[in-house]
Chain A
């Protein structure tokens, strides 16, 4: 069974204080690893897809990386508007997304 574990559960950062979120996974036949951002009262917003170990993708202050067992979401010099819950999900050979519980990030001015 596909499993996704995210850490930490919650992260409080000062504006400008860079940090990383971890997503460790076990999956049969990885088709893709996905990062989403979710704001309170809204649906998850797609950020990145990573398909193979060694792949990296960037968007503004966010950078996602992938190894065979985990993915990291690096937040560089965060701003208060980066406050959100970040969700990691994997899709294996069954073709279904398995989500982690998320990391709640709060960035204070």
Chain B
């Protein structure tokens, strides 16, 4: 049963601390997306990668957020330093870029981040 996995599922941290979230995309998917979900803003795209190369990170606050794909099986989203307004659920999604059904995205269970 192929699915996107994310760790940790929950994270509570203090303002100013570094937070790293990890995502394992579905094997064979070459496109990875990071989203943030809040009650006020809904689902917002932060960044996405195709074939491990960053294609768009215009949704991310550049001064504190960074996203990388060290290899095809791991994507990371880092916040340094974290702030209370970063509290949200962060989702990773993966999909196939360029082929049939290439625009469908499959979401992981999310990381619920609370910054106090």
| A interface residues, Cβ below 8 angstroms from B | 31-32, 34, 36, 42-46, 49, 87, 89, 91, 95-97, 99-102
B57-116, CB < 8 A from A: 91, 93, 101, 103-110
- Chain A: CB-nearest residue to B97: A95
A101 to B93 CA separation, bound complex (whole angstroms): 18
- B106 and A87 within 8 A (CB): no
- B101 and A49 within 8 A (CB): yes
- A97 and B108 within 8 A (CB): no
Q: Is B45 an interface residue (CB 8 A)?
A: yes
Q: Is B28 an interface residue (CB 8 A)?
A: no
Q: List 23 A-B contacts (CB under 8 A).
A: A32-B103, A34-B105, A42-B110, A43-B4, A43-B91, A43-B93, A43-B107, A43-B108, A43-B110, A44-B107, A46-B105, A46-B106, A46-B107, A49-B101, A49-B104, A89-B43, A91-B103, A95-B55, A96-B45, A97-B33, A97-B45, A100-B42, A102-B42
